[in-house]
Amino acid sequence: MTPPTTAARPCTLNAAGIELSALLALPDRATPRATVLAIHGRGMRAAYWNTFIPLATAAGHAVLAVDRPGYGHSAHQLPDGQDLPGQAETLHAALKEHSAQYDTGAGILLLGHSDGGKVALHTAATSGAVPLLGVDASGVGHHYNPEALHFPSTLGAGATRLNWGPLHLYPPGTFQASRTLLAPTPPREAAETLRWPAQYADLAPRVRIPVRLTFAEHEAWWHLTDHTVAAMTARLTGSPAVTVDHLPASGHNISLGHTAATYHQRVLDFLDTLLTP
């Protein structure tokens, strides 16, 4: 059983004039071992990470799960959202604000899913005021599957298989419950989807912290042959360590599925390696 932890509470962050809503959870210790900045994917909200938060705080880490720019509280201020590099800049400002109020421990692990993983990699490739330990991204490849190039919306147009994979990979009631996690995708974010392969080629050499990439067995958004995965990791020339993990019996939204606990523990195991002298 997961030990008792401080529950996540809603908070807001002033990120260089942009007010972001977030969930903050602190461990039951005076100083966290580290802090995880958890970054949700397209069309989701910070509560995507609800099942990760208690495991992380039980392990002694703080978790700051943000609603990305254009989602949650900032949607009225940024009705068109921000492009991915702009989101990375805003998250650096949010981390600076957060670290002025809270001890972040040994540093920040960037944890991102899907488009949030893209933002995590952009954030890792740019400098900020708060030390970054590593980046852990799931649901992010280098080249899209041909069938994904139509980019259907999260809620319709045949996107179910792309976003979820086989439905038996998720607990009963997941799809009804997940409606509370959904939010409209800001136009600027949606408009630049096709640019991701070129963006990644540019930013990848500038990532200078360890990287861990996780791919679900039933990931349908990305072309994931051995060759394409090797080509993706080969571009991370500045990273001191790159790890690739393949998670069986999982779909794109790993953290909502039956294998969520396994995935989340592997994230925390990765973080432990970053904290080992």
pTM greater than 0.85 (yes/no): yes
> Is residue 64 in a domain?
yes
> What is the distance between the alpha carbons of residues 118 and 122, in angstroms, rounded to a whole number?
6
Residue 84 in contact with residue 127, Cβ under 8 Å? no
> Is residue 174 in a domain?
yes
Total domains in the chain come to: 1
Per-residue pLDDT of the chain (277 residues; tens, 9 = 90+): 233 345 799 999 999 999 999 999 999 998 999 999 999 999 999 999 999 999 999 999 999 999 999 999 999 999 999 999 999 999 999 999 999 999 999 999 999 999 999 999 999 999 999 999 999 999 999 999 887 766 654 444 456 778 888 889 999 988 788 888 889 999 998 888 889 999 999 999 999 999 999 999 999 899 999 999 999 999 999 999 999 999 999 999 999 999 999 999 999 999 999 998 7
The CATH number for 103's domain is 3.40.50.1820
- Please give the full DSSP string across the chain, using - where no structure is assigned: -PPP-PPPEEEEEEETTEEEEEEEE--SSSS-S-EEEEE--TT--GGGGTTHHHHHHHTT-EEEEEPPTTSGGGGTT-TT---HHHHHHHHHHHHHHHHHHS--TT-EEEEEETHHHHHHHHHHTS--SS-EEEEEEES--SSB-GGGGG---TTSTT-HHHHH-SGGGS-TTHHHHGGGG--PPPHHHHHTGGGHHHHHHHHGGG--S-EEEEEETT--SB---HHHHHHHHHT-TT-S-EEEEEETT--S-GGGSTTHHHHHHHHHHHHHHHH--
> Is residue 247 in a domain?
yes
> Is residue 2 in a domain?
no
* Residue range 106-150, pLDDT digits in tens: 999 999 999 999 999 999 999 999 999 999 999 999 999 887 766
> Is residue 183 in a domain?
yes
Tokens of 52: 């990760």
Closest Cα partner for 216 from 74, 122, 114? 114
> Is residue 1 in a domain?
no
> Is residue 3 in a domain?
no
Burial class (CB within 10 angstroms; exposed 0-12, middle 13-18, buried 19+) of 117? buried
Query: Which residues constitute the domain of residue 16?
Result: 9-275
> Is residue 270 in a domain?
yes
